Amino acid sequence: MNTDQLRSARMDSEGSSSSKGTTNYICCQRCHQLLEMDKMDHPSDEALLADLISDTTTRDHEPMLFQKTEGRLSSESDGNDDLRQNLRAAAMEDNDAEDLPLGRRRIVFTPEETTGKSEKLRLMELLSDISTIDHPVCASCTDSVMEELETEIQAVEQECINYEYFLKQYRKNTEGDGEDGPRADVEGLKQQLALLEAQEVSLREQLTYEENDRQELASREDFLTRESEKIRLAEEDYFRERAQYDREIAELDEEQESVDYQLRVAEMLLDKLKKTSVFNIAFHIWHQDQFGTINGFRLGRLPGSPVEWPEINAAWGQTVLLLHSLARRMNFIFQRYKLVPFGSHSYIECLDDQNKKLPLYGDGGFKFFWDSKFDNAMVAFLDCLHQFKLQVEKSDSGFCLPYDIEPGPARIKDVHSGASYCIRAQFNSVEQWTKALKWMLTNLKWGLAWVISQHGEFNEA
């Protein structure tokens, strides 16, 4: 603690005294805590100061600074005047004390500095100059300092023990060897030195070799690092392409599944279509009251249900097309006639006279009923149906139509009841004509069923 710090501490203490009454405070130099100087429990200031100065001068092997005044310092009755005289005498003996190192400096106070100072403050100043610790310190900081000093003392004591041990070992080794002992040790040490130098050379060579290997390995490592980076990039490209291929494969698999599903559906539809009769769909023969119908077209007329001639013509066109298709399916050619399906204007050609065409359509009217071409066409059609029946019976003797056909008189007969009806429209009632047409369609339906069962579906245009 230098003079400026002491002055500052003194000013703090004076300020504290002025602000808090007669109590004097001083600041701890470690934790900066305020300390009451009046409550600081110290031994006699003069005795402690004399002991410290005596210990300092004895440790430094210097003459006692206060040897002549030791008796007066130890006496408490002399008071502060004796202390001032001793310090002033010490200052007069050596004016160069400030150049000495810490712990060996002599404490010098001028009369102006010592006049107004308290003994405790001067004691702290002296303690700070002769030690490495700035004073004053509080109790807790003192304990910390003591612990640090004890630790240093233990370390120094252990170091002294080690030195003593090695010193004993050295003396033990050197004693009793005589004059040749040290020389032998020197020679042995020289040999060991030479051996160690040789080992050093060998190790340096090995180190050089290892260093070269290390550089080669470093170069190899750099090369492998670059190769690894290339491989990593190639691997990323590979996985990227692999992901793209996997995505395409997944899309193709989905498309394949869709195609397979469509194929299965198509096969199911095909099987269903194979089991479906095209003839039955294309030529649906049924009845409606007393009318025979083909594809919904009525064939015939009744007084209570007059059917328009366009519907009758359409029904005859479907009937001609059905018989013509059945004959083609059986590879059968009619004699004397040729069926020409032509929608609502279908007709029959006579093979004996190709210029002669028998129309299977009409428009009604008075002139129509006196024209025999329509009746001749219906008779020719009934003859063709009879030829078809005979051809079927050649292939299947058990085949029989529900109604017998008499081509000469152009009649259709029920073998069970014996009733027969003419297919001509002239000189015939519309009821009998309609009944004959209905039985004719029934025979065609039976012929259609036989062809389907024996020859399968129609597969030609």
Cis peptide before 182 (omega within 30 of 0): no
Count of alpha carbons within 13 Å of 85, Cβ hemisphere only?
10
pLDDT, residue 236, reads 95
pLDDT, residue 115, reads 44
- In our burial notation (b when 16+ CB lie closer than 10 A, e otherwise), range 373-393 reads ebbbbbbbbbbbbbbbbebbe
430: which 2 tokens?
């519309």
Beta carbons of 90 and 52 less than 8 angstroms apart: no
Give the global pTM: 0.45
Q: Where are the domains of the chain?
A: 3-137, 146-172, 279-455
pLDDT, residue 23, reads 55
CA distances from residue 413 to 376, 419, 420, 425, 456 in whole angstroms, order as listed: 19, 6, 4, 17, 29
Longest dimension (CA), the chain: 188
3-state DSSP assignment of residue 266: helix
Dihedral of CA 334/340/343/346: which sign? negative
Beta carbons of 132 and 145 less than 8 angstroms apart: no
Q: How many angstroms separate the CA atoms of 300 and 290, rounded?
A: 9
Count of alpha carbons within 13 Å of 423, Cβ hemisphere only?
28
Q: How many other C-beta atoms are found inside a 10 Å radius of the C-beta of residue 94?
A: 16
Which residues, 6 or more positions from 45, have their beta carbon under 8 angstroms from its beta carbon? 119, 120, 122, 123
pLDDT, residue 28, reads 85
| E strand or H helix at 114 | helix 111-115
pLDDT, residue 275, reads 76
Tell me whether residue 403 is exposed, middle or buried, using C-beta atoms within 10 angstroms of its C-beta: 0 to 12, 13 to 18, 19 or more.
buried
pLDDT, residue 14, reads 47
Beta carbons of 294 and 344 less than 8 angstroms apart: no
CA distances from residue 69 to 50, 85, 109, 113, 151 in whole angstroms, order as listed: 9, 9, 16, 21, 37
| E strand or H helix at 350 | strand 347-350
Dihedral of CA 342/347/352/356: which sign? negative
Beta carbons of 321 and 329 less than 8 angstroms apart: no
Q: Which CATH number fits domain 279-455: 1.10.418.40, 1.10.3720.10, 3.90.1170.50, 3.40.190.10?
A: 1.10.418.40
17: which 2 tokens?
């005294």
Q: Along the 461 residues of the chain, how does pLDDT read in single tens digits? A: 454 554 454 445 444 444 444 456 778 888 888 876 655 554 444 555 555 555 544 444 444 333 333 333 344 444 445 544 544 444 444 444 444 443 334 444 444 444 445 677 777 788 777 777 777 888 888 888 889 889 999 999 999 999 999 888 888 877 655 555 556 678 888 899 999 999 999 999 999 999 999 999 999 999 999 999 999 999 999 999 999 999 999 999 999 999 999 999 999 998 887 777 777 788 889 988 889 999 999 998 888 888 898 999 999 999 999 999 999 988 899 999 999 999 899 999 998 887 788 999 887 765 555 678 888 999 999 999 999 999 998 888 888 889 999 888 889 988 888 888 999 888 888 899 999 999 999 999 999 989 888 876 544 43
